[in-house]
Amino acid sequence: MIVATTSGTDISVAHTQTCDVVIVGSGPAGAAAARTLSRAGASVVVVEEGGVANSGETDGFTAMADLYRDMGASVTSGRAPSPYVQGRAVGGGSVVNGAISWRLPHGVHQEWLRSDGALEQTLDWASLEAITTQIERDLNIAPTDPSLAGPNNLLLARGAEALGLAHRPIARNVRNCEGRGQCLQGCPIGAKMSMDLTYLRDAADQGARIVSSCRAQRVLVERGRVRGIQAIAEGGGQVTVHAERVVLAASAIQTPLLLMDSGLTQGPVGRYFQCHPGISVTGRFADPVRMWTGATQGHEVTGLVSEGIKFEALGFDMAVLASRVSGVGSALASGIADFAHLATWGAAIRAEAHGRVQRGWWGTRRVRFDMTPHDALRVRRGVSVLGKMLLAAGADWVALGVHGWPDRIHSSQELDRFAHEGPRDLRAYASVITHMFGTCRMGSRPEDSVVDPRGQHHHVKGLYVVDSSVFPTNTGVNPQTSILAVATALATAMVSS
C-alpha cells in the first residue's frame, strides 16, 4: 500500500502546522531522514512538491508528465546542453528509477576523507557499511534473478564476456518482480521497493505527516535560527510549517535554489555541481530482443568503473522508444516495425567537471555544466566499447548516434577507428544526466562548504541538508543506496545532538 498523504490539491486556504522537524523532499534522502527521526520520537512533517504515483499500468509519456519534473526535459546550459532527469512525486526518484543499488565505493569514501578528515565524525566507513547492510535488508536488495533478466540483459552479459570485461546481474531493490520492464514509469504492481511503499510508510506508522503537491518556497529564519518553512499548495493555499529543525532533501538542484530563495547564499551554495552524464548506443539483432520486457535494468558491466565508465542495459517503454527512431514517413514506419530487434545499452560517465546551479531570469532554474576534455575522452571510449559489446553479442549493426559518423557501423575495426578518431567536441554526442551531486557540499570549512560534517548549515542553527547535494564528489555509480546511507547517518547524528 502506498503511503497516505494530505494532498495539497485540497488546500485552498492558509494552512499552518507545527512539528519538531519539517523535511522538504520525500525521495530517498528525505524518506530516510523521516524514518530515522520519527522512530526516535520526533514529530515530523514531510513536504513534497509532487503527487502520489497512481498504481496500475501507464505508458511512458503519461508517467513522464505525472512523475517527472518538466516531463524529464530539464536542460543544462553550456557548450553542449544536456537534459537532466528528476523524479517529482511522493518517493522522489525512487518511484521512477531502475531500482539499481550500489554501496558507496570505498575509494570514493577515501577521496572524501582525504579532502576533509572531519567528515569521518559522521561518515566513518564502519558505520556507513553497517547502515547499508540494514538498507539492503529493508529493501530486499539482491542480484537480478536470471529468469527475469530477459534477452536485453542477457545479451549484455554475452557481449561483456566476449570482450573479457567484468560484469554481473544488477542488485535491485525489488520484491516479487515480474520483469514487466516498467520501472521508469513507476512499477504498476508495486514490486519496486520505492520510498512511498517503504521508508515513508514506516515514518507514517510512527506518526509522520506527509503533505503532497505542496512546493516549499522559503526557509524561515530568525536571528540565525531556523523557524520553519513556507510553501504553496497546489490548491492555492499558503502552507506554513513551524519547526525547530528544518531538513532539506529536495535534490542537488532544488535544495540550493531553495536556500537562495531564502536569502541563504553564504558559502558555495549552488557551486561544485557534479553528475554522471549518460550516453547510449543501439544495436540491431536478428532475433527479437523486446527491450521493453524483462528487468528494466538487470545487468551491468563493471570492468571499466575504475576508469570512470559504468555500463548498463537500458529498457524503454515502446512510446518512449518510438521517440528515438529517426526519419519520417516510410523510413519512420520501417524503424518502428523493427522495434523488437533493437537493444540499447548505456554508459554512465564519472565526469570530473564542476558546474553551477543558479536562479536565472524571471526565477527560472539555470544549471550550467560543461564537461572537460578528459570527460570527452571517456565519453568517446564509452561509445566505442558499447558498440563493440553489441557486435560481440551478435548485433548485425550498431548506431552510435554521433554526429558526423555513419548511421550504421558493422565492424569492430570501424569502432577501433572511432576510438582514436571520434570527435572530442561533446556537441557531437547525445547525453542525459540522471545523478546529481555537490551543490551544498559538507565540510568543516565554511568558506568551501555549505553544511558542516553533521549536515547542519554553517550559518543557521537547526537547518540541515541530507541529500546528494552534500556529497563532496560524485560517486561513479548509481547513488540511491549511498544517499539513503548518508541521510540515515546524518539524521542519526541529528538525534544525538
**Does 63 fall in a domain?**
no
Strands 74-75 and 83-84: antiparallel
**Does 458 fall in a domain?**
yes
Residue 14 in this model has a pLDDT that exceeds 80 = yes
Instruction: Taking residues 146-164, report their average pLDDT.
Output: 96
pLDDT score for 352: 97
Instruction: Taking residues 456-465, report their average pLDDT.
Output: 98
Could you say which DSSP state residue 234 is in? T
Q: How many CB atoms are located within 10 Å of the residue 203 CB?
A: 28
* Residue 220 pLDDT level (bands cut at 50, 70, 90): very high
**What pTM was computed for the model?**
0.96
CATH number where 486 lies: 3.50.50.60
**49 and 164 co-located in one domain:** no
269/450 Cα distance (integer angstroms) = 6
117/73 Cα distance (integer angstroms) = 38
**Does 89 fall in a domain?**
no
- Which range is least confidently modeled, 45-59, 280-294, 443-457? 45-59
What phi and psi values does residue 366 have, to the nearest 5 degrees?
A: -135, 120
pLDDT score for 336: 76
**149 and 291 co-located in one domain:** yes
CATH number where 308 lies: 3.30.410
Contact 63, 319 (CB under 8 A): no
**Does 126 fall in a domain?**
yes
95/199 Cα distance (integer angstroms) = 12
Q: What SS3 state is found at 29?
A: helix
Q: What SS3 state is found at 358?
A: strand
33/54 Cα distance (integer angstroms) = 24
Strands 309-313 and 342-349: antiparallel
Position 16, amino acid: T
Residue 150 in this model has a pLDDT that exceeds 90 = yes
Select from 412, 433, 454 the last residue of a domain. 433
Domain around 461: 6-53+102-138+196-269+440-496
**Does 96 fall in a domain?**
no
Contact 425, 271 (CB under 8 A): no
Structural element, H or E, at residue 157: helix 146-163
Contact 434, 84 (CB under 8 A): yes
* Residue 332 pLDDT level (bands cut at 50, 70, 90): confident
* Residue 209 pLDDT level (bands cut at 50, 70, 90): very high
Q: What SS3 state is found at 128?
A: helix
**152 and 277 co-located in one domain:** yes
Residue 372 in this model has a pLDDT that exceeds 80 = yes
Nearest to 471 by CA among 260, 241, 273: 273
* Residue 141 pLDDT level (bands cut at 50, 70, 90): very high
Provide the mean pLDDT of the chain: 94
* Residue 178 pLDDT level (bands cut at 50, 70, 90): very high
**Does 356 fall in a domain?**
yes
pLDDT score for 272: 97
pLDDT score for 322: 66
- Which range is least confidently modeled, 185-199, 312-326, 428-442? 312-326
Q: Which residue has the cell 519547526?
A: 243
**401 and 290 co-located in one domain:** yes
- What would the pLDDT profile of 234-290 be if each residue is shown by its tens digit? 999 999 999 999 999 999 999 999 999 999 999 999 999 999 999 999 999 999 999
pLDDT score for 327: 66
**372 and 464 co-located in one domain:** no
**465 and 336 co-located in one domain:** no
**126 and 164 co-located in one domain:** no
Nearest to 33 by CA among 54, 48, 16, 17: 48
Residue 318 in this model has a pLDDT that exceeds 90 = no
Instruction: Taking residues 432-448, report their average pLDDT.
Output: 96
Helix (H) and strand (E) counts in the chain: 12, 21
**303 and 218 co-located in one domain:** no
Q: What SS3 state is found at 54?
A: coil
**207 and 133 co-located in one domain:** yes
**Does 213 fall in a domain?**
yes
- How many domains is the chain partitioned into structurally? 2
252/249 Cα distance (integer angstroms) = 9
Catalytic sites, residue numbers: 435
Instruction: Taking residues 354-376, report their average pLDDT.
Output: 94
Select from 433, 456, 488 the last residue of a domain. 433
Nearest to 399 by CA among 279, 282, 278, 290: 282
pLDDT score for 44: 98
Residue 229 in this model has a pLDDT that exceeds 70 = yes
225/227 Cα distance (integer angstroms) = 6
**289 and 155 co-located in one domain:** yes
Select from 433, 457, 484 the last residue of a domain. 433
400/402 Cα distance (integer angstroms) = 5
Q: Which residue has the cell 538525534?
A: 495
Find the DSSP H helices in 267-411: 318-322, 329-337, 373-392
Q: How many CB atoms are located within 10 Å of the residue 130 CB?
A: 13
Nearest to 33 by CA among 202, 194, 175: 202
pLDDT score for 27: 97
pLDDT score for 334: 74
pLDDT score for 269: 98
- What would the pLDDT profile of 110-138 be if each residue is shown by its tens digit? 999 999 999 999 999 999 999 999 999 99
Give me the count of residues in the chain.
Answer: 497
**Does 87 fall in a domain?**
no
CA–CA distances in Å: residue 293 to residues 157, 169, 317, 373: 16, 16, 9, 37
**287 and 178 co-located in one domain:** yes
pLDDT score for 268: 97
Contact 311, 280 (CB under 8 A): no
- Which range is least confidently modeled, 180-184, 349-353, 368-372? 180-184
**360 and 398 co-located in one domain:** yes
